[in-house]
Amino acid sequence: MPNQSCPDWAEALLNGFSQIFLQRHPLCGLLCLLAILIGAPGLLGGALLGGVAGLLTAQRRGYPKAERQAGLYSYNGVLLGLLISQHFAWSALLPPLILASGGLSAILIRQWLKRAKHPDDLPAYTLPFVALGWLLLGASPATALVAIEPDTWTLLSAPFTGLAQIILLDQPLAGLLIALGLLLANRRAALWALIGASLGVLIALLLGEPASALLGLNSYNPALAALALSQQRRQPWLPLIGILLSIILTPGFAALNLPALTAPFILACWLVHASRRLMQRASVDSPFESP
pTM for this predicted structure: 0.93
Distance CA 222, CA 200 (A): 6
pLDDT in tens, 239-273: 999 999 999 999 999 899 999 999 999 999 999 99
d(CA 162, CA 222): 9
Three-state SS annotation for 9-70: HHHHHHHHHHHCCCCCCHHHHHHHHHHHHHHCHHHHHHHHHHHHHHHHHHHHCCCCHHHHHC
pLDDT at position 119 over 90: no
Whether the CB-CB separation of 32 and 20 falls below 8 Å is answered with yes
**What average pLDDT does range 174-188 have in this prediction?**
98
Sorting pLDDT into bands at 50, 70 and 90, what band is 224?
very high
Q: Which domains does the chain have, with CATH numbers?
A: 8-137 (1.10.3430.10), 152-282 (1.10.3430.10)
pLDDT for the residue 1: 47
In 3-state terms, what secondary structure has residue 199? helix
Is residue 291 predicted with pLDDT exceeding 50? Answer: no
Q: Tell me the mean pLDDT in the region 45-56.
A: 98
Rounded distance, CA 106 to CA 32, Å? 20
- Mean pLDDT value of segment 127-133: 98
- CB neighbourhood size of 5 (10 A): 8
**Phi/psi at 5 (nearest 5 deg)?**
-90, 5
